[in-house]
C-alpha cells in the first residue's frame, strides 16, 4: 500500500470524525436547557460525593446501589433527604446542609425530567435496533 493512499484514508476518516464531533457539539449547543443553577450545583455535589461509584444514571455508573435516574418518581423529597442523611446499611450517611440537600434533589429531579431509564420500557425491533 503506497503512503499517499494510506494518508488519504487517514485524512478522510479524520475529516468525517471532526464533522461528526462538531455536529454533536452543535446539537448539544442547540438543545442546551435554561441553566437551572440549583440542579447544576446539585450535579457538582453528586460529583463531589462520587455517587456514581455505587449508583447509575441511565445504566452508567456503579453496580452496588440502584439506578437513580428516576428516583424522584419513586420517592418523595423527604424520603430522599432521609436516605442521604441517615444512609443505609450499605451507604454511608452524608452530612449535607439543607441547601445542599435541596440542590442534590434538584439535580435528581432534572435527571427524572430528562427521560425514563428503565430498559423494560424500550421497544426492541427485529432488525436489532431499539426505540423509546
Partner 1 sequence: MEPSKGRTEVNFIKVGLIFLFIALVFGVVGALQYVIPGLFRSNFSFEKVRPLHVSSAVFWILITSCGVVLHYQRKVMGQIWSNKLIKWQLFFFLAAMISILSSYILGIFGGREYWEFPPFLAIPFGIAWILFTINVFKSVLVYRKQPVYIWMWLTGAVFFLITFLESYLWLIPPFRTNIVNDMTIQWKSYGSMVGGWNMLIYGTSIYLMDKISGTKHYSYSKIAFWLYFLGLFNLMFNWGHHIYTLPIPKFIQYISYLVSMTELLLLGRIIYYWRTTVNAAARHFHILPFRFLFAADIWIFLTLILAIAMSIPSINAYTHGTHITVGHTMGATIGINTFLLLAYVTDIFNIHNPKGVRIITIFLYITMLDLFIFWISLIIAGIIKADWQMHYPEDAFSLMMYSLKPYFMSFFISGTLMATSFTVIIWAIFRYSNIHSVKDNKG
Residues in contact with partner 1 by the rule CB under 8 A: 1, 3, 6, 9-10, 13, 16-17, 20-21, 24-25, 27-29, 31-36, 40, 43-44, 47-54, 56-67, 87, 89-92, 110-111, 114-115, 117-120, 122, 124-125, 128-130, 132
The CA-CA-CA angle for residues 91, 80, 53, to 5°, reads 40
The answer for residues whose C-beta is within 8 angstroms of residue 122's C-beta and 6 or more apart is 130, 131, 132
- Contact assessment for residue 108 and residue 43, using Cβ atoms and an 8 Å cutoff: no
Q: Shortest distance, CB of residue 123 to partner 1, whole angstroms?
A: 9
Pair type for strands 60-61 and 130-131: unpaired
Q: Shortest distance, CB of residue 76 to partner 1, whole angstroms?
A: 18
Distance CA 63, CA 77 (A): 23
Q: Shortest distance, CB of residue 46 to partner 1, whole angstroms?
A: 9
Q: Shortest distance, CB of residue 110 to partner 1, whole angstroms?
A: 6
Which of the 8 DSSP states describes residue 131?
E
Amino acid at each position: 500500500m503506497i503512503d499517499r493512499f494510506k494518508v488519504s484514508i487517514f485524512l478522510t476518516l479524520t475529516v468525517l470524525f471532526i464533522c461528526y464531533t462538531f455536529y454533536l457539539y452543535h446539537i448539544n449547543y442547540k438543545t442546551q436547557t435554561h441553566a437551572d443553577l440549583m440542579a447544576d450545583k446539585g450535579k457538582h455535589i453528586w460529583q463531589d460525593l462520587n455517587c456514581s461509584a455505587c449508583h447509575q444514571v441511565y445504566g452508567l455508573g456503579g453496580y452496588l446501589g440502584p439506578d437513580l435516574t428516576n428516583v424522584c418518581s419513586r420517592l418523595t423529597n423527604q424520603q430522599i433527604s432521609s436516605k442521604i442523611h441517615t444512609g443505609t446499611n450499605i451507604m454511608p450517611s452524608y452530612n449535607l446542609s439543607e441547601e445542599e440537600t435541596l440542590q442534590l434533589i434538584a439535580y435528581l429531579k432534572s435527571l427524572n425530567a430528562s427521560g425514563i431509564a428503565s430498559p423494560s420500557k424500550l421497544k426492541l425491533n427485529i432488525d436489532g435496533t431499539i426505540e423509546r
